[in-house]
Amino acid sequence: MIRAFLPRSLPAALTGLSDLALDLRWTWSHAGDALWRMLSPESWERTRNPWIILQDVSEEQLERVARDPSFREELGRLLDARRAYVAHPGWFGQTLGARALEGVAYFSMEFGLGEGLPLYAGGLGVLAGDYLKSASDLGVPVAGVGLLWQNGYFRQILDAAGAQQEVYPYNDPTSLPIQPILSASGGWLHIEVELPGRTLLLRAWQAQVGRTVLYLLDSNDPLNSPSDRGITAELYGGGVEVRLQQELVLGIGGWRLIEALGRPVEVCHLNEGHAAFAILDRARSLMRAQKLAFEEALWATRAGNVFTTHTPVAAGFDVFPPTLVARYLQAWAPPAELTMDSLLALGRRDAADPREPFNMGYLALRGSIATNGVSRLHGAVSRRLFQGLYPRWPEHDVPVGHITNGVHAPSWDSRWADQLWTDACGKGRWLQTGQTLPPAIASLPDECLWTLRSAERADLVRYARARLARQLGQRGADHATIAEAEGVLDPDALTLGFARRFAPYKRPTLLLHDAERLTRLLAAQDRPVQIVVAGKAHPRDEEGKRLVQAWAQFVRGRDVRGRAVFLEDYDMSLAQELVQGVDVWINTPRRPWEASGTSGMKVLVNGGLNLYELDGWWAEAYVPEAGWALGDGHEHDDADWDGREAIELYRLLEEDIVPLFYDRDAGGIPRAWVARIRSSMARLAPQFSCNRMLCDYVDDMYLGAARSWRRRQADGARLAKELVAWWHHVQRHWDAVRFGRLVVDRAGDRWVFAVEVELGEIPPSAVRVELYADPQDDGQPFRALMEQTSPGPTGPYTYRALAPATRPAEHYTPRVVAAHPDARTPAEVALVCWQR
pLDDT tier, 400 (very low <50, low <70, confident <90, very high otherwise): very high
* Residue 389 to residue 591: CA distance in whole angstroms: 24
Backbone angles phi, psi at 799, to 5 degrees: -125, 145
* Residue 146 to residue 125: CA distance in whole angstroms: 10
Q: Could you tell me which residues come within 8 angstroms of residue 346 by beta carbon, excluding any fewer than 6 positions away?
A: 280, 362, 363, 366, 367
Predicted confidence (pLDDT) per residue in 500-540, tens digit:
999 999 999 999 999 999 999 999 999 999 999 999 999 99
pLDDT at 1 over 70: no
pLDDT at 4: 54
Rounded percentage of the chain residues whose pLDDT exceeds 70: 99
How far apart, in Å, are the Cα atoms of 718 and each of 101, 142, 281, 710? 21, 28, 20, 11
**What is the rounded average pLDDT for all residues in the chain?**
94
* Residue 500 to residue 745: CA distance in whole angstroms: 58
The DSSP-derived string for 527-559 is: S-EEEEEEEE--TT-HHHHHHHHHHHHHTTSTT
Q: For 601-626, what is the mean pLDDT? A: 97
Predicted confidence (pLDDT) per residue in 789-805, tens digit:
877 666 799 999 999 99
pLDDT at 455: 97
If one counts every other C-beta atom within 10 angstroms of the C-beta of residue 761, the result is 12
Contact 190, 218 (CB under 8 A): no
3-class state of residue 195 by DSSP: strand
pLDDT at 335 over 90: no
Q: Which helix (H) or strand (E) holds 331?
A: helix 322-332
Predicted confidence (pLDDT) per residue in 433-460, tens digit:
877 888 989 999 999 999 999 999 999 9
Boundaries of CATH 3.40.50.2000 in the chain?
Answer: 433-688
Q: For 49-75, what is the mean pLDDT? A: 93
pLDDT at 336: 73
Position 489, amino acid: L
Boundaries of CATH 2.60.40 in the chain?
Answer: 737-834
Q: Could you tell me which residues come within 8 angstroms of residue 356 by beta carbon, excluding any fewer than 6 positions away?
A: 322, 348, 349, 350
* Residue 412 to residue 408: CA distance in whole angstroms: 7
pLDDT at 762 over 90: yes
CA 123, 127, 133, 137: dihedral to nearest 10 degrees? 140
pLDDT at 6 over 80: no
Whether domain 737-834 has CATH 2.60.40: the reply is yes
Q: For 618-637, what is the mean pLDDT? A: 94
pLDDT at 2: 55
The dihedral built from the CA positions of residue 258, 263, 268 and 271, taken in this order, carries a sign that is: negative
Q: For 701-730, what is the mean pLDDT? A: 97
pLDDT at 546 over 90: yes
Q: Could you tell me which residues come within 8 angstroms of residue 529 by beta carbon, excluding any fewer than 6 positions away?
A: 493, 494, 496, 521, 522, 563, 653, 658
pLDDT at 51: 93
Strands 305-308 and 813-818: unpaired
Say what the pTM is: 0.95
* Residue 643 to residue 466: CA distance in whole angstroms: 35
pLDDT at 418 over 70: yes
CA 788, 793, 795, 800: dihedral to nearest 10 degrees? 0
Position 813, amino acid: T
Q: For 398-423, what is the mean pLDDT? A: 96
Pick from 311-315, 472-476, 549-553: least confident: 472-476
Whether domain 433-688 has CATH 3.40.50.2000: the reply is yes
pLDDT at 114 over 60: yes
pLDDT at 616 over 90: yes
pLDDT at 793: 65
Q: Which helix (H) or strand (E) holds 600?
A: helix 599-602
Predicted confidence (pLDDT) per residue in 172-220, tens digit:
888 899 999 998 888 899 999 999 999 999 999 999 999 999 999 999 9
* Residue 141 to residue 785: CA distance in whole angstroms: 38
Pick from 131-145, 152-166, 261-275, 712-726: least confident: 152-166
3-class state of residue 539 by DSSP: coil
* Residue 315 to residue 319: CA distance in whole angstroms: 9
Position 107, amino acid: F
pLDDT at 48 over 60: yes
Contact 281, 259 (CB under 8 A): no
The number of C-alpha atoms within 13 Å of 109 and in the hemisphere containing its C-beta is 29
Predicted confidence (pLDDT) per residue in 286-306, tens digit:
999 999 999 999 999 999 999
Region for residue 652 given its phi and psi (left: phi exceeds 0; alpha: psi -120 to 50; beta: otherwise):
alpha
CA 644 to chain centre: 31
pLDDT at 25 over 60: yes
* Residue 242 to residue 227: CA distance in whole angstroms: 9
